[in-house]
Amino acid sequence: FFSMSGTKALPNAQGPEAQNAQNGPTDDQADGLCSEWVTSIASFHSTNPDSNVVSFLQKHKQTASQLYTAFDKFLSHVRSGSALNDAQAAESKGKGNAAFKKQQYSEAVMCYTDALRSAQSDSACAVLLSNRANAHFQMQIYPLALLDAHAAVELDPKYAKAFFRRGHALQRLGFMPEGQRDVDWSTHLEAQSAAAAEVNDDPEAPPVSERIQALLAELQSHVRYGPVAKEWTDPAPIKAHSQLRVIRDDVQGRHCTIADAVEAGTEIVSEMPQAAVLRGECTYTHCSWGMKTSPALVPSWRYRACGRKSRGLYSCQEAAEEEWHVCGKMEASHPFFLVCPLDFLLAVRMYLRKRHGPLGSNVAREAFLKDEDGSGLVDFGYPHLASLQGPSRECTKEMENGGKETACVALALHAGAIHRVVSYVVLGDDLEPKDGDEVAVVISDGMLEDCCRELVHLMRVILTNAIAITKLTSALQKGSGTAVVRQERVGKAVYALGSMFNHSCDPNCHLQWLGGPYESSPRLIVRSTTFINAKDVLTISYGPHKNRQHSQKQRRKLLQDQYHFHCDCAPCAEPESNFPVTDEIQEVWQKASDLYQKGRKLAGTQRYQDGIDALLGSLDLLTRHLPDGAQPAHIIAKTYDSIAEVYGMQQDFENASLWCEKGVTKLSAIYSPNSLEMAAEYDKMASVSFRAEQYEKALQYIDKAIPLLKCFYGDRHDGITELGQYRQTILKKRPELG
C-alpha cells in the first residue's frame, strides 16, 4: 500500500558505475566466462609489469602455455556453441511447451525467447514466435501477441497457426473484420495442408490493411521506445543548456559549471552515449541496443544471416540494425566478443568511434562548450574520449575492482579479437563478418601495439568515467502490502558531457535516463536539483551520497576504492561526530535490532498485534535507553514506518497515517526539504493519508511531493500521475478543498 521510508525505498547509488549497496561491488574487467583467465593473467602481470601488451603476452606464453591452451579449447567450444542450431533451439522450445502446459506463461515466454536466440531456419523462428504469441495471449497481453504472430507470418507465410493467432489477437484488440479474415485464412491453409496440396502465393490471402499497418507501427514504436518515442528519437544526440560551460583548472581538470544562475528542476544536459553496453544479466529482459525492458525480444536477422548468435537480443529489427552498423558487424566476426568482460567490450565500442566519428559534433562547435578563456573547443569524438583521465590500478593490491586492463587486452590479442578490431577500423563495411583468424588486410605489429595501448587506456577511463544505466524496480514484500523499491543496473555507458561532471556527496544535479526512473534507456538526462548560482561547479553523486551513506568514513573509502581519489566535498570536509560507542550502547542496539526483526516476522505471519508490540519494544530501547547522540535517527524512522505498515496490513489507515507521519517528521530533521529522500516521504504520506480519508492532509503532501518529483524526474514519473489522480478524486469528494 505504500513504500518504506526513503532510507529504504531509494537506491544507494544514482548513476555512475559506483559500488552499489543493493547489488554489491562489481568488477566488470573480470566478469563473465573469461574471468578465470583474466584473473590469472593479471596476477602474473602484477609481478611482471610490462606496458607493451604484445611483448607481455609473448613473455607470459613462455611461462604459462597450458593456460592459453586451455583458453583455446574453451574458445573453440564458444565458437561451436555460437553457431545457430535448430536442434538446440528445440530443447528450449520443449521447456517452453512444458511450462505452457503448466500455465507458467511467463516462464514459457522466457524459454521461447531463449530458443529464438539459437534458431537457424525461418520456419523454426516462426514456430517459436507463434508459440510465444500464444503465451502472451494467455496472459491477455494482446499487443505483444499480435506483434509476435505478425512476425511469424512474415517469416513463414504458409504457417496456419501464425495467422490463427494473429487473427485472435486482432479480434481481442477490437479489429474484428481483419481478425476474422486471418482466422479464415488459417483454416484455408490447414485444409490445403491436410490435402497435401502445394500452397502457393494465393491472391486471396488477406492483405494487411492500412489501419492494421498503422496499429503495428504504433505497437512496435511503443515496444521500442515506450511513451517517450518523440524524445527518444530526437535527432540531436547531445543537447545542453545555453549557460553550460566546460572549464579546465589545475585542481579539478575539465569540469562543468553554469555561467548564469538556474532554478531547481532545470534540464542541463540530454545526451546519447558515445558507447554503451547491456549487462549480461539483462540479456533476456532488455533490448541490447535500446536498454528498454521488453518481454518480446527477438534476435538480429543480421546475425542469423551469418549463422551466429548475438550477445544480446532486441526489441525490434530496427534496433538490431542500428547496433549492427555501429559495432555488431565487427562483433559478429569473432566469438571472443560473446564472452569477453563487459569493460573490454565497452572499450572496444569506444575505440570504434575512430571510425564512426563523434556523436554531437555539432554541439562541440557551440561557444558554450569552449574553455573559459574561449579557446580549446571540446571535441566529442574519439580524441575527447581518449583524453579522459583513468588512473591505473595495475600492480595495486587490495583493489575491489580494476587493475586487469592489460590482462583483458592480452587475452583478446591472443584470441585474435584485436586483429578484428583493427581490421574493422581500417576496412569498415568491407570486413566480412565470418568467424576465423585470417583477415583481408595486413596488420603490422605497430598497429596491434597502438590498438592494445589505447584499449588499455580506455578501460582505465571506463573505471572512473563510465556511468551505470539504471532503473528502479518496485516489488511487493511477501506477506505485506508494501512495495520495496530497488535500483537495478541495466548497462553502462560513456558520455561526452556526462563524464565531465564532478562528484559531490551533496550534489546539485541529478542523473536519470529518458523514461526513468522505472524504465531505462541510453539517453542521459541531468537536471539541477536546487537553485545554482552563476559560476558554481555542477556536481553529481558517483554513488556515495550523504543521504544514503551517512558515515563520512564509509563514503570516502567507497570513492577511494572505486574512483581512486580522496573526496574533499563540503560534507566530507565537515568534522564527523565521534560519539563514543560503548559496549552498553552496542548491546542496546543489538536488542533493538532483534526485536525489530521479530516484529517484522510476526507481522508477516499475520500476528499483527504481537508484531506491533515487538516493534514498540524496539522503539522504546532506541529512544528511552540511549543518549541523544547514540539514537540512530534513520533506524527510528524505519521502525515508525514498519509500525505504520503493520497497521496498513489491517486496513487501519488512520493509525498507519499517524505512525507514518512520525517517520516523516524524524527524517525531515536529517534531510533537506528539497531532497529526493523527502520527495519519497511526501509521496508515501500522501498515499497513506488518502487511504485514511484524511483528504486535507493528503493534499498538503501532494502539493509538497509533486514539485520535488518534477524537479528530479521531469513530468514523466509514475508517482506524479498517481498523485494527480489522488488530487482529482479528493476534489470531487471535497470540492471545498480546491
pLDDT, tens digit, 9 for 90 and up, residues 716-733: 777 888 889 999 999 999
Q: What is the pLDDT at residue 654?
A: 93
Poorest-confidence range of 37-41, 65-69, 99-103, 380-384? Answer: 380-384
Q: What is the pLDDT at residue 519?
A: 87
Q: What is the pLDDT at residue 360?
A: 52
pLDDT, tens digit, 9 for 90 and up, residues 525-551: 999 999 999 999 999 887 666 666 556
What percent of the chain has a predicted confidence (pLDDT) above 90? Answer: 51
- DSSP character string of 56-109: HHHHHHHH-HHHHHHHHHHHHHHHHHTB--HHHHHHHHHHHHHHHHTT-HHHHH
pLDDT beyond 80 at 71: yes
SS3 293: strand
Give the residue-averaged pLDDT of 320-336.
92
**Domain map of the chain by residue range?**
86-197, 583-737
DSSP class of 226: G
Give the residue-averaged pLDDT of 302-322.
91
Distance between CA atoms of residues 544 and 565, nearest Å: 13
Give the residue-averaged pLDDT of 505-515.
89
pLDDT, tens digit, 9 for 90 and up, residues 275-309: 999 999 999 999 999 999 988 899 999 999 989 99
- Cell triple for residue 91? 530443447
Q: What is the pLDDT at residue 575?
A: 63
Q: What is the pLDDT at residue 483?
A: 63
Poorest-confidence range of 199-213, 343-357, 642-656? Answer: 199-213
Tell me the C-alpha to C-alpha distance, in Å, between residue 42 and each of 67, 403, 526, 575, 689.
13, 8, 36, 39, 57
Pairing status of strand 238-240 against strand 267-271: antiparallel
Burial class (CB in 10 A: 0-12, 13-18, 19+), 231: middle
pLDDT beyond 50 at 370: no
Distance between CA atoms of residues 174 and 549, nearest Å: 52
- Cell triple for residue 472? 528502479
Asked if 342 and 309 touch (Cβ cutoff 8 Å), the reply is: no
Give the residue-averaged pLDDT of 175-202.
81
pLDDT beyond 90 at 453: yes
pLDDT, tens digit, 9 for 90 and up, residues 244-256: 988 887 777 778 9
Distance between CA atoms of residues 250 and 246, nearest Å: 14
Q: What is the pLDDT at residue 18?
A: 37
Poorest-confidence range of 144-158, 272-286, 558-572? Answer: 558-572
Distance between CA atoms of residues 123 and 108, nearest Å: 19
SS3 487: strand
Q: Is the peptide bond before 517 cis (omega within 30 degrees of 0)?
A: yes
Q: What is the pLDDT at residue 12?
A: 32
Is the Cα torsion angle 479, 481, 486, 489 positive or negative in sign? positive
Run of H or E residues at 510 = strand 509-513
- Cell triple for residue 6? 526513503
Predicted TM-score of the model (pTM):
0.85
pLDDT beyond 60 at 436: no
Question: pLDDT higher for 521 or 478?
Answer: 521
Pick the CATH number of 86-197 from 3.40.50.2000, 3.10.105.10, 1.20.120.1150, 1.25.40.10: 1.25.40.10
Give the residue-averaged pLDDT of 41-48.
90
| SS3 of the chain: helix, strand, coil, percent, to 5 | 55, 10, 35
Apex 701 CA angle, 696 and 707, nearest 5: 130
Residue 487, φ and ψ in degrees, nearest 5: -95, 135
Which range, 102-111, 299-308, 491-500, 665-674, is most confident? Answer: 102-111
Apex 503 CA angle, 630 and 717, nearest 5: 85
SS3 35: helix
Q: What is the pLDDT at residue 16?
A: 37
Give the residue-averaged pLDDT of 150-167.
94
Q: What is the pLDDT at residue 628?
A: 75
pLDDT beyond 80 at 135: yes
Give the residue-averaged pLDDT of 406-413.
95
Give the residue-averaged pLDDT of 204-214.
87
Pairing status of strand 539-540 against strand 244-249: unpaired
Poorest-confidence range of 214-228, 236-250, 466-480? Answer: 466-480
Rounded mean pLDDT of the chain?
Answer: 83
Q: What is the pLDDT at residue 201?
A: 53
Asked if 474 and 687 touch (Cβ cutoff 8 Å), the reply is: no
The HSE-up count of residue 262 (CA atoms within 13 Å, CB side) is 24
pLDDT band, very low/low/confident/very high, at 601 (cuts 50, 70, 90): very high
Pick the CATH number of 583-737 from 1.25.40.10, 3.40.30.10, 3.90.1150.10, 3.40.630.30: 1.25.40.10
Pairing status of strand 275-278 against strand 244-249: unpaired
Poorest-confidence range of 219-228, 382-391, 408-417, 615-624? Answer: 382-391
Tell me the C-alpha to C-alpha distance, in Å, between residue 705 and each of 685, 697, 702, 709, 713.
9, 12, 5, 6, 12
Distance between CA atoms of residues 391 and 400, nearest Å: 15
Poorest-confidence range of 185-199, 348-362, 476-490? Answer: 476-490
Question: pLDDT higher for 715 or 274?
Answer: 274
- Cell triple for residue 679? 520527495
pLDDT beyond 90 at 655: yes
pLDDT beyond 70 at 394: no
pLDDT band, very low/low/confident/very high, at 391 (cuts 50, 70, 90): low
Sequence-separated (6 or more) residues with CB below 8 Å from residue 610: 599, 602
